[in-house]
Amino acid sequence: MMTSDLESNPCRKRVKKRIKNACSVKTVKKRLPILEWLPKYKTEYIIQDMIAGITVALTAIPQGIAYALIAGLPPEHGLYASLTSGVVYVFFGSCYNVTVGPTAILAAMTARYVSNYSTDFAILAAFLSGLFILFMGVFHLGFLVDFISMPVISGFTTAAALQIASSQLKSLFGTSGSSGNYFAESVYNFAMNIRTVKLWESVLGFSTILMLILLKKMGQGCKRTDGFIKRTRWFVSLCRNAIVVVIGMIITYILKVTLDSEPLSITGDIGSGLPDFTWPPFSTTAGNETLNFIDMLSVLGPGSVAIPLVALFESVAIAKAFAEGGRIDATQEMIAIGLCNIIGSFGQSMPITGSFARTALNHDSGVVTPAGGVTKVLLIIFALTYLTSTFYYIPKASLAGLIITALFTMIDYEIYGRLWKNSKRELLVMLITIVVCLFYGLEYGMLAGVIIEACVLLYNVSQPTVNVNVIKTDKVAITIVPLIDSVSYCAAEYVRKAIIKASLNSSNTVIIIDGTNLKNMDFTVASNLMLIVQDLEKKSRLILLYNFNLGLKNLCLDINPFAVHKFVHASNILDHVSEILPNNI
Amino acid sequence: MMTSDLESNPCRKRVKKRIKNACSVKTVKKRLPILEWLPKYKTEYIIQDMIAGITVALTAIPQGIAYALIAGLPPEHGLYASLTSGVVYVFFGSCYNVTVGPTAILAAMTARYVSNYSTDFAILAAFLSGLFILFMGVFHLGFLVDFISMPVISGFTTAAALQIASSQLKSLFGTSGSSGNYFAESVYNFAMNIRTVKLWESVLGFSTILMLILLKKMGQGCKRTDGFIKRTRWFVSLCRNAIVVVIGMIITYILKVTLDSEPLSITGDIGSGLPDFTWPPFSTTAGNETLNFIDMLSVLGPGSVAIPLVALFESVAIAKAFAEGGRIDATQEMIAIGLCNIIGSFGQSMPITGSFARTALNHDSGVVTPAGGVTKVLLIIFALTYLTSTFYYIPKASLAGLIITALFTMIDYEIYGRLWKNSKRELLVMLITIVVCLFYGLEYGMLAGVIIEACVLLYNVSQPTVNVNVIKTDKVAITIVPLIDSVSYCAAEYVRKAIIKASLNSSNTVIIIDGTNLKNMDFTVASNLMLIVQDLEKKSRLILLYNFNLGLKNLCLDINPFAVHKFVHASNILDHVSEILPNNI
């Protein structure tokens, strides 16, 4: 009895199958991909993975520091984020060339909480984002990201780039005053302090930008597999972020030694050594207030959903871009990114996700396995242990230049023209997203975009195409109203009106609701259909329900059992019209 | 130049047409239906309209008082609501048998604000609801109501009935203590005060219920057009609400005269005379606080959307039920209900809408034109002027009995079984709606139901059916992926995965994306499609885009101009397969 019950119950069967699957060797390998690739690791991979690891680290270290500064965090938190996530991803990552760590956008989304409250919010955001992403991975909820349309993500990214750029104006020009929670505020604050622009900071900042552009150009057309000169150009170009930061450091150091003062604003003290491994902060002190977990959650508000969604979106977009037509194990990627954030938050990491720029770098450097991340992690540990006193001299203007240059590639300039030509509605959604992002905050802009798109979508679903065909025979006009695929409750009234309108167009017509291609309709639609049948019957009008499938027929008859003689089945609606029609017509 | 510009601009043309239309005689008649029916009024209608007006008034007066009590308002506000809305509807109403006035559900939705703050909230709610409904009417936004599915409205109505019943327990049993903001609270409060149940109140309350049921049964099978005895039974049955209230009054009065005390809880003082015509309250005093307009709005919160939506839903449902297959001018109904509320709020009215019970009564009484409302209005004026001192003696237990009996017909008992058999998912949505309504409040329950349904709908849209067909010819396997109707951004990833999966199933297959029946796709879908084309090209796989319409083709080519040779057009995908395929296959 028990067994047959189990057999007959598809839900239980599925659960049983799931449990069985979850314990199989295949699943364990799938969920811990290191077990898959490490045993197959060949010694010839080492050099390639190491080179890739070094180039990535040479970008990850300055970017880690820079992104921590975007978030308003002490610089070491950016390095911690690269470190812990790097370690976790080696074990759990399924895409060999994806590199994880802090990103400019996530840093910008965290900045508001850090500047208004405390550092703890960045770490809690990482923890909660991790839980959220892990949950989405385990329960296959990754499709949620599909509800962020391209125009919304483009608008969001543009706005994020502008917000980050505006937040760096202060460092780039060495002005006084505070930055801001969002673009409009940062620009306003900068404009208010425009008289405090410092010449040498500005020169250094813009020189950094110029140098980065030139170094990038230098590497164009050069590949890893080219001859020595081209290869060197390629490598120098890849390491351009580290190079400009080192140059900046040297200038500052020389100025300090020669002038015995620090004329440039510098990064300053960086916490040395590895992060303590401890619980993420579930309470914090901001100003004179102590905030408990619930208070912190309500401070994070929409950010606690928007940050993980953006993290997920970035990682999915990267995986997709580098999949090259192969399949991605989206679930495993979510689990990996989720664990990176959760475990990272125990090591005081800010929120992390896949980094587009560093993944491209990793790919270009010819990485073969996730082991490339090991070299990166070792170099970060080295930096945290021995180089923090050197990093003290990194000028903020260099970092600002580095950040702003990175933003150029983030903005999709072509989408504006494409949308203008093809879909002004989507362009409008994008512009609304941008405006809300810039004047209210990134998470609200994304939310606005997603909600507007969803509303438009729901509206479209509620107004399906109903192609009414009228066929005139000798005796009678036949009005055929085909219902197609799936009709939802919100379209019930629209469909009802279409049918009533068709019935009013000609007083001597037979209405045939053609359900041949109708797969599904819900209770509301069925009720409305039965209401129409009843109403037309009262007016002595003939209405037939043609070729409805059994499930839908039963649903209708459950609502109105007297409609049973209205249902007809025939292979061709026209050939059999005389059979379908009763004799009295 | 100007003219041709106007001609060529469809938007301007439409606006011009609209303005022209708005000023035509036809439109004025449409928007002020009294101009249509009054000139055609015949003297033989008078008797029928009067009888209908009297029977409706005999229900509207006790129900008006009862519903004001549900809302926690002084009883005269219920009568004011029937009065002003009655007058306005005579001018603007387009459905001759619809009767407007306060309803139990709207009263229940208002109760929370009145009991926690002040009477002013009910009047402001009427004003805002009116504006909202008028706005929806003018801008053709009535379709918003379609997003409330039948299971949600059924669950909501059931919960509303239970909440109203629970709020009347206090009056029915004469217990002490306060009522509650929602079902769970009312039941809890009643249970806490169960020891204070008063015998005579309970006897009167239950006798009222019993009497109402018997009087209703008495009228069954009798019609207005029957002989004298049956006709009298019919009329007595229709006036049952007035009868039980009058009996209750007489009992109270006799008890007062004989015992010289008032053992039963009575309605008490009712403001006499017509309402003052003044501005609705844009500020109020609650407790010791003065609330301005913004404070009042934030107190109303979701109620300011939920109350008008429910009002609109009720009136649309009634119009639909009594349309009998005819067309309804939904816009005009919305304008009428909107104006009834707005103008009503100047006469201290609570929110009003179409009343199902009184509309049915009006219909059964044989009303011919909206002029039936005139008699009703005159009787209410008479009651307000001369009968308020009599109404003083209406026992609350009678009103509670009357209210509870009216609720029996509100609940749709059959929907549970129907949903259990046909759609457990919808049953679940309904139960969630009920639970949230009962334990949190009516507006939140409705909101929860609507949001859940919308999310399910969006999920379904994001997972469209993609029927992949594989056709094997001598040389090659052809995998056809048809895209149908409209593919939305949220389905872009799902479709991409389906195509990639199809391409991986066989290494020697030509992928044909069949766009013959594709009417629309947005930018996200087109971008994803171009990504697939690019990815498969990298893997030297052949992919063709078949019979895409020009707009969609241009959109794709705008994203990736190199895909131009991927687009093919042919009348039959199989007949022309050799033409479609390049020679190298």
Interval B253-268 mean pLDDT: 79
CB proximity B150 to A under 8 Å: yes
Q: State the best of B419, B429, B490, B559 to mutate against chain A, taking most chain A CBs within 10 Å.
A: B490
- A291 beta partners: A284
CB proximity A325 to B under 8 Å: yes
ipTM of the complex: 0.79
Residue-wise pLDDT for B350-407, tens only, equals 999 988 778 877 887 778 888 888 888 888 888 888 887 777 788 888 888 888 888 8
Residue-wise pLDDT for B222-236, tens only, equals 777 778 888 888 888
Residue-wise pLDDT for B75-124, tens only, equals 888 889 998 998 899 888 888 888 898 988 888 888 888 888 888 888 99
Over 70: is that where the pLDDT of A285 sits? yes
CB proximity A149 to B under 8 Å: yes
Residue-wise pLDDT for A119-131, tens only, equals 888 899 999 999 9
Closest-approach residue (CA) in chain B for A453 = B489
Residue-wise pLDDT for B3-32, tens only, equals 444 444 555 666 677 667 666 777 777 788
Quote the pLDDT of residue A501: 83
CA proximity to B206, closest of B216, B214, B196: B214
Angle at A277 between CA A273 and CA A282, to 5 degrees: 125
Could you confirm whether domain B469-580 is CATH 3.40.50.510? no
Whether B558 sits inside 8 A of A491 (CB atoms) is no
Residue-wise pLDDT for A504-547, tens only, equals 777 667 888 888 888 888 898 998 899 888 888 887 788 888 88
Over 90: is that where the pLDDT of A277 sits? no
Quote the pLDDT of residue B507: 67
Over 50: is that where the pLDDT of A584 sits? no
Inter-chain Cβ pairs, chain A and chain B, closer than 8 A: 158
Whether A325 sits inside 8 A of B541 (CB atoms) is yes
Per residue, the 3-state secondary structure of A60-84, as one string, reads HHHHHHHHHHHCCCCCHHHHHHHHH
d(CA A534, CA B360): 18
Whether A491 sits inside 8 A of B559 (CB atoms) is no
Residue-wise pLDDT for B423-437, tens only, equals 889 999 999 999 998
Nearest beta carbon to residue A558 from set B422, B489, B491: B422
Q: How confident is the model at residue A10 (pLDDT cuts 50, 70, 90)?
A: low
Q: How confident is the model at residue A343 (pLDDT cuts 50, 70, 90)?
A: very high
Instruction: Spell out the residues 6+ positions from residue A245 whose beta carbon is closer than 8 angstroms to its own.
Output: A62, A394, A398, A399, A402
Q: State the best of B139, B146, B485 to mutate against chain A, taking most chain A CBs within 10 Å.
A: B146
Q: Which of A311-315, B132-136, B250-254, B581-585 has the lowest mean pLDDT?
A: B581-585
Quote the pLDDT of residue A580: 52
Instruction: Spell out the residues 6+ positions from residue B103 whose beta carbon is closer than 8 angstroms to its own.
Output: B67, B314, B352, B353, B354, B355, B356
Nearest beta carbon to residue B538 from set A324, A463, A494: A324
d(CA A226, CA A222): 7
Q: Where are the alpha helices (DSSP H) in B93-182?
A: 104-116, 120-138, 150-173
Contact residues on chain A for B149, CB-CB shorter than 8 A? 489-490, 522-524
Quote the pLDDT of residue A499: 86
Interval B166-180 mean pLDDT: 81
Interval A437-462 mean pLDDT: 88
Q: Average pLDDT, whole number, for chain B?
A: 83
Quote the pLDDT of residue B30: 79
Over 50: is that where the pLDDT of A394 sits? yes
Over 70: is that where the pLDDT of A324 sits? no
CA proximity to A241, closest of A401, A350, A407: A401
Whether A320 sits inside 8 A of B531 (CB atoms) is yes
> For residues A49, A51, A53 and A55, what is the CA-based torsion angle, rounded to 10 degrees?
-150
CB proximity A150 to B under 8 Å: yes
**What Rg do the C-alpha atoms of chain A give, in angstroms?**
31
Q: How confident is the model at residue A18 (pLDDT cuts 50, 70, 90)?
A: low
CB proximity A44 to B under 8 Å: no
Instruction: State the first-to-last Cα distance of chain A, in angstroms, to the nearest integer.
Output: 55
Quote the pLDDT of residue B582: 52
Percent with pLDDT over 90 in chain A:
10
Q: Which of A380-394, B521-535, B539-553, B555-569 has the lowest mean pLDDT?
A: A380-394
Interval B218-225 mean pLDDT: 80
Quote the pLDDT of residue B15: 67
Interval B133-159 mean pLDDT: 87
Residue-wise pLDDT for A289-322, tens only, equals 888 888 888 888 888 888 898 888 888 878 777 7
Q: State the best of A523, A530, A535 to mutate against chain B, taking most chain B CBs within 10 Å.
A: A523
